[in-house]
Amino acid sequence: MSLSVNDPSLTSWVEVAKDSDFPIQNLPLGIIQMWNEKPRVASRIGDFAIDLKSLYVLGYMENLAFSADDFDTNSLNKMMKKGKLGTRKLRERISKLLQSGTSDLKNKQHHVDQILIPMEDVTMLMPIEIGDYTDFYSSEQHAFNVGCLFRDPENALMPNWKHIPVGYHGRSSSILPSGVDFHRPKGQMKPPTADLPVFGQSNLLDFELETAFFTYEGKPLGGSISTTEADDYIFGMTLLNDWSARDIQGWEYVPLGPFLGKNFASHISCWIVTLDALEPFRVPGPVQDPKVLPYLEYTGDKHIAINLDVLIQPEGKEAVSVCTSNYRHMYWNMNQQLAHHSVNGCNIRTGDCMGSGTISGPEVGQYGSMLEISWKGTKPFAMPDGSERKFILDNDTVIMRGYCEKDGVRIGFGEVAAKVLPAN
């Protein structure tokens, strides 16, 4: 699909640095707060937030499906109710107003001053009121690595793995926006050498490098979304750090799967990059062998090349890169995940969040969790300050970044960052 607003030759009269994640081809959506004012809906170009409420009030949104209420609010959910075509038209309008050669807004400096807000003057808030959170397990290298660590290479993948996009239902209440620090979780665990479980702080706190996608209103209960229809139900994506307490998880997960080792915190980046903006960066996925069941078949390029980086920043020190991966390495794509999720008639709602699962690439250095990077603690990662990491220490900040690049255009997600505070 080719959208004119994605044209690599487009430029804006707003100055955008060459390595910015937010050129005119991106125009993500998020929620900003200025000083103590009410939160509102915004987009972004370069180092400016674009205040969409002001854009509406000043008359630049005529003939669109939106009302002032859709922008004068603390989540994107209301505007997401307008569906794919509604938000696509909105992005086209914002692009048109900011394009070089369009002067409607540019020539009214008093309007520009109200609409373009320097990013240093805004706080980014949680962009979406998330209903349900589902996390998949769709990177083959990650599933293989974990299978090797806990079983053996011959039986690394479970028999269902290449037939089902494996997932579980998580918890949305503890999904946080980038920048909100959290305390190391406590819980019950059983050390390998102990006979009985103990209670205490998690000592094996890990990150998971993931992306998330957010849905438009799906079909009513009983309806299913096909792989072909899935694009129309996906609003956009963020980076996701799906924190894990490996020691709590390891003791609790049999037989019902992840619980308290997973639901204490997950962080997302604050700008939702629309699926429309990501279309130019589509790539083919892996050949799926064995052949999948018909409801999971898809046509066209449904994977997306997104460069991903993870850094650990110890308190007061430089951030250190520990992983460089790419979203293109996924085995299952979002269309298959959504089709599988709804094939039983499960209804998908506006603002549901679906995690990709840890994204590990095929090479050492591309593994998306400390569990894999340190190979279950047997190969500590050497930090330049002389310390080492098997897992994440107190006061470490974990930073994830992501961007796509093609034809001279770079669009990105910014970052998701959060610091681990000592246990309460």
Least Å distance, CB 166 to Mn ion, is 11
> Which one, 208 or 217, has the nearer CB to Mn ion?
208
Cis amide leading into 255 (omega within 30): yes
Cβ neighbors of 63 (< 8 A, separation 6 or more) are none
User: CA dist 331 to 136, 142, 287, 300, Å?
Assistant: 11, 10, 9, 15
Binding mask 132-151 for Mn ion (x = CB under 5 A): ---x----------------
Annotation marks residue 110 as catalytic: no
Residue 60 or 391: the one with the smaller Cβ distance to Mn ion is 391
Which residues, 321 to 340, sit near Mn ion by CB under 5 A?
Answer: none
352 touching Mn ion, by CB under 5 A: no
Q: How far apart are CA 359 and CA 391, in angstroms?
A: 17
Q: For residues 17 and 46, give the distance between their C-alpha atoms in angstroms, rounded to a whole number.
A: 7
Q: Which is nearer to Mn ion, 212 or 304 (CB)?
A: 212
Out of 70, 208, 247, 252, which residue is the one contacting Mn ion (CB under 5 A)? 208
| Closest CB 135 distance from Mn ion, rounded Å | 4
Instruction: Give 168 or 381: the residue with its C-beta nearer to Mn ion.
Output: 168
**Interface segment toward Mn ion; rule CB under 5 A; list 58-66, 234-242, 268-276, 362-370:** 234-242
Catalytic residue among 142, 267, 303, 329: 142
Q: Are 314 and 383 in contact (CB under 8 A)?
A: yes
**Ramachandran category for residue 361: left, alpha or beta (phi over 0 → left; psi -120 to 50 → alpha):** beta
Q: Amino acid identity, residue 44?
A: R
70 makes contact with Mn ion (CB under 5 A): no
Q: Which stretches within 326-400 are classed as H helix? A: 334-342, 370-373
344 to each of 20, 259, 323, 341, how far by Cα in Å? 42, 23, 36, 7
CB under 5 A: which stretch of 130-138, 176-184, 368-376, 403-411 binds Mn ion? 130-138
Quick check: 242 binds Mn ion (CB under 5 A)?
A: yes
Least distance CB 357 / Mn ion (angstroms): 6
Place of tokens 């085995």: 331
Active-site positions read 142
Chain residues binding Mn ion by CB under 5 A are 135, 208, 242
